[in-house]
Structure 1
Amino acid sequence: MKLLAKAHISQRRLIEILRVIDSADKPVGARAISDSLSNRGYDLGERAVRYNLKILDELGFTKKQGYSGRVLTALGSRELNDALVDDRVGFVNTRIEEYMFKTSFDPDTSRGDVIANTSIVDKADSEKVFEILGRAFDAGYTISRRVLILEEGDSLSSLEIPAGSLGVATLCSITIDGMLMKRGIPVNTSFAGVMEIRKKQPIQFTDLIAYAGSSLDPMKMFMGRKVARVVDAIEGGHGLVLANVREVPIAAASQAAHLLEQSNSLGLGGLITIGDPGKPVMGCPVGSGKIGIAFCAGVNGPVAAEEMGVKIKTSPISMLIDYSRTTSLK
């Protein structure tokens, strides 16, 4: 297999592009491939896709069909059939751990990089989006009121903002995990799920997906299934919001609680509860010798905007951004 000569993460990326092309019933272009990869849990912009397509062309796995896009060659089909079946198993957890390690936000100085979810919306809908993002935070269902706004034509990492659109980066709850790690607290992001809200209070998880061994981002899977009812929770106090759980050792419980209190004083909210040692947290299993910490997901704001009819494309755990570049919603 020629792809095995590549670095493993590049191999996974190339194989996933081959899968996208193979699943199409016609030649497919870079933009369509980028959109499909995003739906599968990969954050790869159109420019990066073009670069990888050149590699696949050189390997003889794909070929151009005029201006229509790429198709697989016979060699490419064989390569895809021979690809490792577990090429993406555990990839989501690895990606989370990498972002946690790269997080540099220091609550003592309020400086450093934080993990962000990114959304692209039409400019005409921007005020509506900002309003519901603020309301979602005020209700306790997101992490922060702070956002980074990107104008049309701007680019950041692999995100490119098309004409007539705005990019909105919101803080991801995995930032909290990175902060715990930086304080020397071992942390394991264990589950994503759907949290039932009654009378404005979190009751229990109604659905859970483990991050470990997952081939797709569980949060993105819940978003794709449209199982949340964030607007109902905001407006009526009864609904379903997205949330996740991380585990830390019992010995680090007091240190973790102190950090979360400090973070809350800085405007980083979304904490649902800190569980009891070795006990399930809101119905989510927790390992022996651990405590579970449940947080609302940072994507609940964009999810609420979509529920209100806004056309919005959101990518969870999308990139790192400099906290000092963010501004607070009014």
Structure 2
Amino acid sequence: KMQSLVNPKPIIKTTGPGIPEKVKFLLSKAWNLIYQVDFDIETHQGNVITNISYVKTNELDLAIDIFEDVMKTGPQYCTSKYFKIIPGKEPNKTGIATVCSLTLDGILVKNGVSTTPQYGGILETDSKQPRFIELTAYSGSSLDPHEIYIAKDMTSVSEAIKDGGRVLASLREIPYIARPAAVDVLEEVQDAGFSILKIGKPSELVYNAKVERYHVGIVAPGGLNPIAALKEHGMDVEPKAVETMTNVSEMEEF
């Protein structure tokens, strides 16, 4: 019998782009965590966003010594005094949780201040006028910019805590009309053990970074700065930024 030619099955499949796999942008993931931040600036209790970075378990003691040195000598370059040691998924790896600077966006949102995380960057501190020398927009990045900078050995945190160097920092924008409210919140945030490097004036360049009109730029140090210092000391580290939520009651502090 002759095969029906009404709907013949194609022998060769047509080639084409198909369904492209959607790139997951960092900011999409970040917003889901930002809205879960419930750290209370009065009671100093609640959940914060944490980065989890892995080191070799047999190098943990050395890692903690370097980590502690950065936290104590240059606390202004660490997002927060809180940290946590966690068991790694592999027996030869141990995790160090540090507070991610996007936690500050969560605290601002919780306290009624609209904020938009804009850039992860490298801040050069060894001049009378600190300035950003690298900026990567969160909105167009699928990886955390700070992870990339660490991988490319672009930091010098160990030098920065002594006389000047290059540290990780992030920039977010708020509407200028919200500046007084933000200043009040961020003063309490600093009392709670967090660091803020600069709150700009309306439409002012912040460390040489441009800010949208009618907005104010706020710069905070990167939560991975102590981890960057480990890499600078030749240690094998795997930084994972914007990774999970952690309650500060489970964390230690320097």
Q: Structures share a fold, TM > 0.5?
A: yes
1:166 and 2:94 are equivalent in the alignment: yes
SS of structure 2 residue aligned to 1:97 = helix
Paired residue for 1:307?
232
Write the distance in 2 (CA, Å) between the matches of 1:267 and 1:212.
28
Write the distance in 2 (CA, Å) between the matches of 1:173 and 1:135.
20
1:219 and 2:146 are equivalent in the alignment: yes
CA deviations over 1:305-325 (Å, ceiling 9, x no partner): 111011111101111011100
SS of structure 2 residue aligned to 1:178 = helix
Question: Computing the radius of gyration over CA atoms, which structure comes out larger, 1 or 2?
Answer: 2
Closer, same or farther in 2 for the Cα pair 1:202/1:234, shift >3 Å? farther
Q: Is the 8 A contact 1:202 1:272 kept in 2?
A: no
Paired residue for 2:8?
none
Closer, same or farther in 2 for the Cα pair 1:145/1:124, shift >3 Å? farther
1:176 and 2:104 are equivalent in the alignment: yes
CA deviations over 1:85-132 (Å, ceiling 9, x no partner): 7x226x211111111101111112211110001111122222222222
Aligned match of 1:208 in 112, 116, 135? 135
Question: Where do 1:141-290 residues align within 5 Å?
Answer: 141-151=77-87, 160-198=88-126, 203-235=130-162, 237-269=163-195, 271-290=196-215
Paired residue for 1:88?
23
Aligned residues: 239
Question: Where do 1:113-124 residues align within 5 Å?
Answer: 113-124=47-58
Higher relative contact order (CA 8 A, sep 6+): 2
Paired residue for 2:46?
112
SS of structure 2 residue aligned to 1:110 = coil
**How much has 1:133 moved relative to structure 2?**
2.0
**How much has 1:171 moved relative to structure 2?**
0.7
Q: Is the 8 A contact 2:150 2:231 kept in 1?
A: no
SS of structure 1 residue aligned to 2:49 = strand
Structure 2, unpaired ranges of 5+: 1-12
Write the distance in 2 (CA, Å) between the matches of 1:242 and 1:321.
22
State the identity as a percent.
27
Write the distance in 2 (CA, Å) between the matches of 1:244 and 1:83.
34
Give the TM-score normalised by structure 1.
0.68
**How much has 1:202 moved relative to structure 2?**
6.1
Superposition RMSD in Å: 1.9
Write the distance in 1 (CA, Å) between the matches of 2:112 and 2:40.
13
Structure 1, unpaired ranges of 5+: 1-74, 152-159
Closer, same or farther in 2 for the Cα pair 1:121/1:216, shift >3 Å? closer
Paired residue for 2:9?
none
